[in-house]
């Protein structure tokens, strides 16, 4: 209750008049659809009612929010200024509503979790299984995308948590990140192909056929950068795939690929070869907005993630350690998680 009153008081300072929640909802719908009729359908009201509420909002704020010249709907300068604030208010109100719903011993609620594709493949299945066993009534909504998109979704309130690849070098709204694990990258190849020398140096990849991810994967950028730093351009036989497609192409003998060790640990029909030191590593972190505490269910998922990360890494170590030819060194778990404010945006990542 204190939280809800605080939110309401803060919004009254921004909007001293009686601006209504529904008016902001209708405003955002028109702003995003650029069409009054489609906006009305989206929020399930009649078009005249929506238009009337928009006019009332404009009157209250003392400025036109849309230009309606010749049937084209566009935001005015005032509308552009209001849009991010309205989205923030709607997102925070939705968060407050779900937090109240979740107070009954986490029997209801939802978590909106974003993750990069390789994390969805390697880490999340076991973690989500453990969380679901503990809280079967919590709905899990998973957004699979690159880190850049996930950071943007966090900033606008569309996600509660996101698993992203560190570091986050460019400017973005403030995020709090908790380092979850440090993971080695390894080389996978077809079990039928000749066994490569172990461990492989980056220079050993020169002239070798590589299966490469699509643009936007951090694995692509990292691999290409490492090859160029070693003085050569990598050779691609196939490029443009997602994680499952890349692994499938490798199985078919089209080439090798550089992938996270946790993903390789689940691909039992592929040969896995370690990279010689210093090798290639990546850091996976759990991120949320610094200015808004995650809902209770999201905090519980965060606890499960932190509690099970060591077990997940040990599972990858055991799976890879039982391989015969070309077993890779497992991904290493980092030291204690470190929480810090990250003012950053990520490159897209896998």
Q: Which residues pair with 139 in a beta bridge?
A: 110
Range of the domain at 209: 110-350
Residue 193: HSE in the Cβ half-sphere, 13 Å Cα cutoff: 22
The domain total for the chain is 2
Quick one: 164 and 300 in the same domain?
Answer: yes
Q: What sign results for the dihedral spanned by CA atoms 304, 306, 310, 316?
A: positive
| Residue scoring higher pLDDT (36 or 329) | 36
Tell me the H-state helices in the chain: 2-14, 21-33, 36-43, 47-61, 77-101, 117-122, 124-134, 147-155, 218-229, 243-251, 261-266, 296-321
What letter would DSSP give residue 45?
S
Domain stop point among 101, 119, 149: 101
| Mean pLDDT across the chain | 80
Quick one: 340 and 262 in the same domain?
Answer: yes
Quick one: 58 and 79 in the same domain?
Answer: yes
| Residue scoring higher pLDDT (147 or 55) | 55
The model's pLDDT over 264-306, given as tens digits with 9 standing for 90+, comes to 888 778 999 999 988 899 889 999 998 888 888 899 999 998 8
Domain stop point among 101, 129, 152: 101
Task: Check residue 16 and give its pLDDT.
Answer: 42
Domain stop point among 54, 77, 101: 101
The model's pLDDT over 96-148, given as tens digits with 9 standing for 90+, comes to 877 776 665 577 788 999 998 888 887 898 899 999 999 998 999 999 888 88
Query: Is the pLDDT confidence value at 330 over 70?
Result: no
pTM for the structure as a whole: 0.60
Residue 250 to residue 210: CA distance in whole angstroms: 9
Domain of residue 45, CATH code? 1.10.10.10
Place of tokens 């919590």: 138
Residue 166 to residue 180: CA distance in whole angstroms: 10
């Amino acid at each position: 209750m204190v939280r809800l009153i605080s939110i309401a008081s803060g919004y009254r300072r921004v909007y001293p008049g009686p601006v209504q929640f529904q008016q902001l909802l209708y405003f955002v719908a028109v702003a995003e659809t650029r069409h009054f009729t489609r906006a009305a359908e989206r929020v399930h009201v009649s078009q005249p009612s929506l238009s009337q509420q928009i006019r009332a909002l404009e009157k209250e704020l003392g400025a036109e929010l849309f230009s309606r010249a010749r049937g084209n709907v566009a935001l005015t300068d005032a509308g552009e200024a209001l849009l991010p604030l309205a989205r923030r208010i709607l997102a925070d109100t939705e968060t407050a509503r779900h937090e109240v719903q979740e107070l009954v011993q986490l029997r209801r609620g939802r978590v909106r979790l974003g993750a990069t594709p390789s994390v969805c493949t390697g880490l999340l299945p076991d973690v989500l299984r453990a969380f679901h066993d503990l809280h079967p009534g919590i709905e899990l909504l998973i957004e699979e995308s690159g880190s850049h998109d996930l950071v943007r979704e966090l900033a606008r309130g569309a996600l509660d948590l996101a698993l992203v690849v560190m570091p986050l070098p460019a400017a973005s709204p403030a995020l709090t990140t908790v380092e979850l694990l440090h993971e080695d990258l390894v080389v996978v190849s077809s079990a039928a192909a000749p066994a490569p020398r172990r461990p492989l140096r980056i220079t050993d990849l020169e002239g070798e056929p590589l299966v490469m991810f699509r643009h936007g994967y951090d694995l692509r950028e990292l691999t290409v950068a490492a090859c160029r730093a070693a003085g050569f351009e990598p050779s691609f036989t196939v490029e443009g795939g997602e994680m499952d497609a890349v692994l499938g192409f490798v199985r078919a003998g089209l080439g090798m690929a550089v992938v996270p060790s946790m993903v390789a640990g689940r691909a039992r029909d592929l040969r896995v070869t370690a990279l010689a030191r210093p090798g290639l590593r990546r850091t996976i972190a759990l991120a949320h907005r610094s200015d808004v505490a995650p809902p209770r269910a999201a905090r519980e998922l965060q606890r499960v993630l932190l509690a099970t990360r060591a077990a997940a890494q040990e599972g990858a170590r055991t799976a890879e350690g039982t391989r015969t030819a070309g077993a890779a060194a497992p991904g290493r778990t980092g030291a204690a998680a470190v929480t810090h404010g990250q003012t950053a945006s990520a490159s897209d990542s896998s």
